Amino acid sequence: MNRQRGLFWLVFLAVAGVVALVPDYFFPPEDIAAVRPASGKGSLGELRSDSTAKKAEARPATAPADVPRANLFAAHSWYVAPPVVRQVAAPVAVAAPAPRPSAPPLPFRFIGRMDDGKQRKVFVLDGETLHVLAAGDVIDGTYRVERIGDSEMTLVYLPMHLVQSLAVGRTP
């Protein structure tokens, strides 16, 4: 119990010392001298009015106020005006003509050819399927052989009726 009472008084005296030193850190000595009366006469109200009067006399008339004066409770609007939209006539973009449709690349690879005097035949490979073609043949309903020349074979892509050619050069 004695120990708690001693601790209480120690804390109390420490707080009292801090309170006694605080005015020295926050107020200049001339302000403290203005608050303390030279004589023991006068009330606290008179002391305050004397100190404020001396402060007003010490401050020049053109000096800015110590504390900025602002209305802390002024109405404030968060409305932001929308930006002004200027209507400028934009140039009209002319769409480029759509590209002409084209047939997919030929899936055939030339393997060889045979010419027996009556008819020319060409051997082509489509994936793993070997086709032996003559003029007028239709391959899977997609391609038709138009003609077979010395260096190229002409095919028609039937869904779009587009002509394509495949090189069928002479083999030694």
Q: Are strands 120-126 and 129-133 parallel, antiparallel or unpaired?
A: antiparallel
Q: Which residues contact 152 (CB under 8 A, 6 or more apart)?
A: 165, 166, 167, 168
Chain segment 123-170, per-residue pLDDT in tens? 999 989 999 999 999 999 999 999 998 889 999 999 999 999 999 876
pTM greater than the 0.75 cutoff: no
Non-local CB neighbours of 87 within 8 Å, separated by 6+ positions: none
Q: Using CA atoms, how far apart are residues 107 and 167, in angstroms rounded to an integer?
A: 13
Q: Residue 154's beta-bridge partner residues?
A: 147, 165
* Contact between residue 155 and residue 143 where contact means Cβ atoms under 8 Å apart: yes
What is Dmax (Cα atoms) for the chain? 145
Q: Which class is 108-167 in CATH?
A: mainly beta
The helix or strand, by DSSP H or E, that contains position 138, with its residue range, turns out to be: strand 138-139
Per-residue pLDDT tens for 38-83? 554 544 545 455 555 555 555 555 555 566 778 878 888 888 888 8
Please give the Cα distance from 98 to 160 (Å, whole number). 16
